[in-house]
Structure 1
Amino acid sequence: MDLINWIGGLIAVVSDPRALLDALGPWLLVGVALIVFVESGVLFPFLPGDSLLVAAAVVHGALGAQLWRIVAVCLLAAVAGDQAGYWLGARYGRRLFRDDARILRTDRLEEAEAFFDRHGRVALVLGRFVPIVRTYVPFAAGAARMSYRRFAIWNVLGALAWVGSMTGVGLLLAGVPSVADSIEGVVLAVVR
């Protein structure tokens, strides 16, 4: 029963970005970095990356955190998470494909390679803004053998665009009276 209560508490905290930020306390930067890292490319897409960045920008003053530190840590974590996803895909991704598979057939791997040759740059940048896609694009790029140099450049540009825009939205919302008091509703509107 304790495990069920613990999981329920975890889900409640993760679904409420302000409560999550408050719960992190002195570990705020470490916790935010870990969540952004894992969601960015370590194949666990169900973390609140977008809402966490917006909420952190809205309430950074109340949390006693400097916004530039949050942005710097999130940029590093987003880039590192995608790097991990790329290397996981490059190392293990191709092993998932089989000629006789229903979904991960080898002909689809060839299609993925062609896709990343043509559209990999756009996928890396725009994929950042789609929560579940954000997690799997780096893995797919690695499995499809996208050029690492090209991947690294567009990974950094995508991270800059994503972290910059999400914290920018948070800063804009922070200037609206009573937004910090009702951050849950604001974050739901932003994420949808």
Structure 2
Amino acid sequence: MLHFFHHALEPWITSYGSLAVAVLVMLESLGLPLPGETALVSAAIYAGTTHHIDIVVLIASAAAGASLGGIIGYWIGRRAGYPALLRHGSRIGLTERRLLAGHWLFENHGGKIVVFGRFFAVLRALAALLAGVTRMDWRRFLIFQIAASILWAGLYGGAADIFGKQIEHVAGPVGVAIGVAIVAAIIVAAVMFHRHGDRLERIAAARAQSKQ
């Protein structure tokens, strides 16, 4: 299974490397349905198992892509405003309910949403857009956005790289067991993030609507 993973991933990693991950992460941060986070994790595991890509460069590239995507999203929100997002946001998955939820969260929690929103798919693009819509000071936003991007890329990329190295140095049944455990952990983490993200969205949307 690991050999299949390497062969399937190697062509685009060796051809485009960290740049491809940075672009995918940047576009995903703008709300496009692209696997930026998945690309980072996959490339980091590849780096840990083959050493054909520098993990530091990969993490830095992902952080740069996330930062740039958030900055672009901020200026789009600042220039377009809430009415424009309400009219056109559904095209990139920003429904009225998500916009209401995000707007309420941002007004009440500010910069914390920029940081923690990086780790929730439903808030990843919305946080930067709403920072612009609510005209958060751009210098303050920039600090939070860069910090969040570095933290996110470092945690996801670093953990995946460590997992990759552990897989490389363990053979036979133990290696298979570790591989299964890693896959299970990733699945459980994804389910937990989605559950909490959906719950957070429901609560915030209900409170935002109650204030209207």
CA distance in structure 2 between the partners assigned to 1:118 and 1:17 by the alignment: 45
Contact 2:28/2:125, CA 8 A, preserved across alignment? yes
> Which one of the candidate residues 11, 16, 32 is aligned to 1:27?
16
Q: Which runs of 5 or more residues in structure 1 are unaligned?
A: 1-15
Deviations along 1:124-182, one digit per CA (max 9) or x if unpaired, are: 11111112321221011111211212111110111111011101221231214347977
> Which one of the candidate residues 155, 159, 167 is aligned to 2:157?
167
CA distance in structure 2 between the partners assigned to 1:72 and 1:97 by the alignment: 30
Given residue 136 of structure 1, which amino acid in structure 2 is its aligned partner?
Answer: L
Tell me which protein shows more helix as a share of its residues: 2
The equivalent residue for 1:96 is: 84
> Which one of the candidate residues 75, 99, 123 is aligned to 2:63?
75
Pairing 1:1-192 to 2, within 5 Å after superposition: 19=8, 22-40=11-29, 42-44=30-32, 46-61=33-48, 62=50, 64-96=52-84, 112=103, 115-174=105-164, 175-176=166-167, 177=170, 178=175, 185=183, 187-192=186-191
Given residue 52 of structure 1, which amino acid in structure 2 is its aligned partner?
Answer: A
CA distance in structure 1 between the partners assigned to 2:121 and 2:85 by the alignment: 24
Offset, 1:115? 4.5
Contact 1:78/1:159, CA 8 A, preserved across alignment? yes
CA distance in structure 1 between the partners assigned to 2:190 and 2:10 by the alignment: 17
Offset, 1:96? 2.1
Contact 1:57/1:67, CA 8 A, preserved across alignment? yes
Offset, 1:119? 0.9
The percent of aligned pairs where both chains have the same amino acid is 27
Aligned length: 167
SS of the aligned residue for 1:129 comes to: coil
The two structures have a TM-score, normalised by structure 2, of 0.65
Alignment RMSD (CA, Å): 3.3
Moved over 6 A (4+): 179-184
After superposition, the Cα gap between the structure-2 partners of 1:137 and 1:21, relative to the gap in structure 1 and judged at 3 Å, is: farther
The two structures have a TM-score, normalised by structure 1, of 0.71
Q: Which runs of 5 or more residues in structure 2 are unaligned?
A: 87-94, 192-212
After superposition, the Cα gap between the structure-2 partners of 1:184 and 1:31, relative to the gap in structure 1 and judged at 3 Å, is: farther
After superposition, the Cα gap between the structure-2 partners of 1:158 and 1:169, relative to the gap in structure 1 and judged at 3 Å, is: same
Contact 1:79/1:159, CA 8 A, preserved across alignment? yes
